[in-house]
Structure 1
Amino acid sequence: MNKLSTQDRVAILNCLSEGMGVNAAARVTGKSKNTVLKLLADVGQACAAYQDRVMINLPCKRIECDEIWSFVGAKQKNVKDDHPEGFGDCYTFTAIDPDTKLMPCWLVGTRDRQCTYDFMADLAPRMAGRIQLTTDGWNHYPDAVELAFRGQVDYVAINKSYAPGPAVSEARRRYSPPSIVSSAKAVVYGTPDLKKASTSIVERSNLSLRMGNRRFTRLTNAFSKKLENHMHAISFYFMVYNFMKIHKSIKTTPAMEAGVTDFLWSMEDIVLMTDTDV
């Protein structure tokens, strides 16, 4: 079986890391769509496994959490009985350290009780000490945080109210977010510093995810057709974000700032890591 050279794999991954879709990456590099998807699957699995291993005993003091919507195959309202399992609305739970900008874990699933519990159960043991945690007002967070952290956390929930407003034009409805009427910070556990309680940074990181990953772009046909490919693409995105790209505010990569690694990764390093892990 023919195997892509390191140079070819780096070229394809560079295209994907800059927000290109699979079809566009195939056209630019001259490779088949199946070749690009197979490479993404191999790299995505390796990136997920590697980050799961190294994101431990983290020195984070604050964590912000949020969820970002996308869909696989079809939007939930269009899912039919004969569609494969995994089709429909899909939420990615994300967490970020506002100080180091590290995104230590994520979870791809649905916005329900079980996924919220699983996400917090993954996040809690990665922290080296007590943290201040901030989430939005999703009603399953408090119980999930209590179960995962067992009260050893300073936790704030931010509840936002949005204006229903009068009827708006279709274009405005599609392109403009709802207006926030009020925002209230509620202390759930511990003694958090309310001045530092915010979800602004994680919301901004989710915007970067939407802009930097073709599968999250709204109003296009670039959505994921399979849940597995969606997960692979997200794992690869976070690998590039944490280890490769220099964050403008900290002048280094989040992984270096948090002490997870001591060098700046290149795309060749990701390819080498994939060869080692696969």
Structure 2
Amino acid sequence: MCEILIKTNCPHCQSSKVVRNGKKRNGRQNLLCRSCGKQFLPQYRNRGADPTVRQLAVRLLERNSGVRDTAEALGISRKCVLDNLCRHAGKICIQPAERHYASVQIDEAWSYVGKRKKGKYWLLYAYSPQKDEILAYSCGGRSAKTVRELLSKPEGVEIDEYCTDHWKAFAKVPPPEKHTVGKAHTKNIEGVNTSIRARNRRFVRKTTCFSKKKENHLAALDLMFNYRNRRKAKHHTF
């Protein structure tokens, strides 16, 4: 069987091994990438369906562009931007790279979700200063339940020491023999908090930049922490 190679690159993997692969129901030519196995069209009538535009939307969101800014810059709808955010975040899994950590610092931040000045939503996350890595995070109320959920997430990981501030909920969950309290022991994660505020406007302009839905808020956190863990060697403050 003879295959005709098309002079175009795959928008997913940039491979040039692209062949014709039948036609869509509307009669438009369909293309197939022999390298990654994904199908696409030579041109898209709807910009939001173009894989290249989708990738650009994710990159802009990773670099702290707002949903409206991204939609305006790329000429697509806000719904399309949010759909891309949730779709990409659904493929992300924040997992510790190691099985043992000598010391882990935990801190909290908050923003609004759903309603301004009423829907306060807390973020707790665990950070390894030795590896410069976000290990896990949890969201919810400012309670021991959220702390317990956070500590249960790094499954199969041995942690020798938990460093926190004097927040009461922290005293109820970590084992006392592994728990170290004091601002002097959380200086590293405070620096990460600063970079989070610089890279996610949900934690800075809280009354004007907040997610209306929890799933969008969690998707934005997945995107942010995954990006930081991937880029930590190149950009300390991401």
TM-score normalised to structure 1 length: 0.63
Aligned to 1:215: 202
5+ long unaligned stretches in structure 2: 1-23, 25-45
Change (3 A) 1:91 1:126: farther
Aligned to 2:224: 237
Pick from 142, 145, 148 the counterpart of residue 114 of structure 1: 145
Pick from 43, 64, 71 the counterpart of residue 105 of structure 2: 64
The secondary structure found in structure 2 opposite 1:225 is: coil
User: What is the CA-CA distance between 1:55 and the residue it aligns to?
Assistant: 2.6
Amino acid at match of 1:35: C
Change (3 A) 1:126 1:201: farther
8 A contact 1:70–1:216 mirrored in 2: yes
Q: Does 1:14 find its partner at 2:55?
A: no
8 A contact 1:95–1:106 mirrored in 2: yes
Pick from 128, 149, 159 the counterpart of residue 97 of structure 1: 128
Structure 2 CA distance for aligned equivalents of residues 33 and 200 of structure 1: 38
Which protein has the larger Cα radius of gyration, Structure 1 or Structure 2? Answer: 2
1:73-116 CA distance string (max 9 Å, x none): 3244xx4xxxxxxxx10110011111111001001111112112
Structure 2 CA distance for aligned equivalents of residues 138 and 15 of structure 1: 35
5+ long unaligned stretches in structure 1: 80-87, 159-182, 184-196, 254-278
Write the mapping of 1:138-177 to structure 2, written as runs, cut at 5 A.
Answer: 138-146=167-175, 154-158=178-182
1:122-180 CA distance string (max 9 Å, x none): 24x352x342210011112122113xxxx6x632011xxxxxxxxxxxxxxxxxxxxxx
User: What is the CA-CA distance between 1:248 and the residue it aligns to?
Assistant: 4.7
Write the mapping of 1:258-273 to structure 2, written as runs, cut at 5 A.
Answer: none
Aligned to 1:225: 212
User: What is the CA-CA distance between 1:5 and the residue it aligns to?
Assistant: 3.3
8 A contact 1:116–1:144 mirrored in 2: yes
Structure 2 CA distance for aligned equivalents of residues 134 and 94 of structure 1: 12
1:190-235 CA distance string (max 9 Å, x none): xxxxxxx611111111221121013222255221111111011001
Q: By percentage of residues, which structure has more helix?
A: 1
Pick from 46, 49, 65 the counterpart of residue 4 of structure 1: 49
8 A contact 2:144–2:172 mirrored in 1: no
Pick from 131, 153, 163 the counterpart of residue 134 of structure 1: 163
8 A contact 1:55–1:126 mirrored in 2: no
User: What is the CA-CA distance between 1:29 and the residue it aligns to?
Assistant: 1.1
TM-score normalised to structure 2 length: 0.72
User: What is the CA-CA distance between 1:46 and the residue it aligns to?
Assistant: 1.7
Greater RCO (Cα-Cα under 8 Å, separation 6 or more): 1
8 A contact 2:103–2:160 mirrored in 1: yes
Amino acid at match of 2:145: Q
User: What is the CA-CA distance between 1:10 and the residue it aligns to?
Assistant: 1.6
Aligned to 2:85: 40
Amino acid at match of 1:94: Y
Q: Which moved more, 1:8-17 or 1:55-64?
A: 55-64
Aligned to 1:26: 71
Structure 1 CA distance for aligned equivalents of residues 110 and 101 of structure 2: 26
Amino acid at match of 1:135: T
Structure 2 CA distance for aligned equivalents of residues 19 and 214 of structure 1: 7
Aligned to 1:275: none
8 A contact 2:89–2:219 mirrored in 1: yes
